[in-house]
Amino acid sequence: MRRAVTYLIFSLIVMRWSVVYADHFSHLFEQASEAYENANFQEAIGLYEEIIDNGYESWEVYYNLGNAYYKQIDIGKAILNYERATRLLPDNEDIQYNLQLANLRVIDKIQSPPQFFFSKFVERIKNLFSIDSLSMIVLIAYIMTVVLIIIMMLVKLGSFRMMTKVITYVFVIVLILSSLLLYMKIHEMNHTRYGIILVPKVIVYSSPEENGTEIFSLHEGSKVKLTRAIDSWSQIRLTDGKTGWLKNDAFEII
């Protein structure tokens, strides 16, 4: 118990401190955006990357960096950063629009099989919230449920009792659904990794070796699901079901 409390206090201090430290990078962000506006895309890229290299992130940084790469016609990196922005903020119109534009310039047209209505629906709901906002919803629903139960336990409500009960049930349902969704998202984040091809062209082999049979080739900007890794090779799967092995230096994980 005492150790937990110490940890809590410590991490609170660290967070406070890091927010202060982040101010420096806010300044960098402003500089980068200025460079972008003056069409100094290379400089803007350098500055945005510096923020990220120092271990900070926000969807705006990724989005702006993606834009800068797009302007430099570096489509692979543009898509990589748009995808990273999407991960932090799944339902933003600007990100999705630019990502769509960038994807048009990708050579490989990978057909995704049609999805069932239900899985499509779940996917939509999942993309509606980021992990953080979902965590917030879980927390609020949880606190509200507890508070309402406490109130029902301690206070005589008379004719309000029924209404309070109904509201509590609503919060309980919200809590269950959002927790489930949060679990799914965290699980997906930790177990499903995607990569973006960053080299102009790469050959996908049937086995993790250079003299394996060539199955097909992929071009810059294509999104692949990473399913396994052996040494410097990764097994990938495309949305149309094709699988194969490619070298790790051909892509970057989103």
Position 236 contacts other proteins (CB under 8 A): no
Largest CA distance in the chain: 79
Residues 149-208 that bind other proteins (CB under 8 A): 149-150, 153-154, 182, 186, 200-201
Confirm or reject binding of residue 253 to other proteins (CB under 8 A).
no
Question: Does position 49 bind other proteins by CB under 8 A?
Answer: no
User: Which burial class, exposed, middle or buried, applies to 134 when counting CB atoms under 10 A from its CB (0-12, 13-18, 19+)?
Assistant: buried
Which listed range, 20-28, 169-177, 227-235, 242-250, lies at the site for other proteins (CB under 8 A)? Answer: 20-28
DSSP output for 146-203: HHHHHHHHHS--GGGHHHHHHHHHHHHHHHHHHHHHHHHHHHHHHH-EEEEE-SSEEE
Closest approach of other proteins to the CB of residue 225, in Å? 20
Q: Which is nearer to other proteins, 173 or 230 (CB)?
A: 173
Q: Looking only at residues 102 through 121 of this chain, which bind other proteins when binding is defined by CB under 8 A?
A: 102, 104-109
196 within 8 A of 221, measured Cβ to Cβ: yes
Distance between CA atoms of 123 and 128, rounded to whole angstroms? Answer: 9
Query: Which of these ranges, 18-26, 159-167, 170-178, 239-247, lies near other proteins under the rule CB under 8 A?
Result: 18-26
Q: Considering only 8-16, 157-165, 170-178, 229-237, which stretch makes contact with other proteins by CB under 8 A?
A: 8-16
Nearest to 59 by CA among 90, 19, 27, 24: 90
Among 86, 98, 178, 235, binds other proteins (CB under 8 A): 98
Minimum distance from residue 25 beta carbon to other proteins (Å): 5
Task: Provide the β-strand partners of residue 233.
Answer: 230, 247
Nearer to other proteins, 84 or 251 (CB): 84
Interface with other proteins includes 56 (CB under 8 A)? yes
DSSP-assigned letters across all residues of 6-53: HHHHHHHHHHHHHHHHHHHHHHHHHHHHHHHHTT-HHHHHHHHHHHHH
Edge to edge, the sheet with strand 233-237 lists: 214-219, 201-205, 243-247, 233-237, 223-230, 193-197, 251-253
- Contact residues for other proteins (CB under 8 A)? 7-8, 11-12, 15, 18, 22, 25-26, 29-30, 33, 36-37, 51-52, 55-61, 63-64, 67-68, 70-71, 94, 97-98, 100-102, 104-109, 131-132, 135-136, 138-139, 142-143, 146-147, 149-150, 153-154, 182, 186, 200-201, 214, 216-217, 219
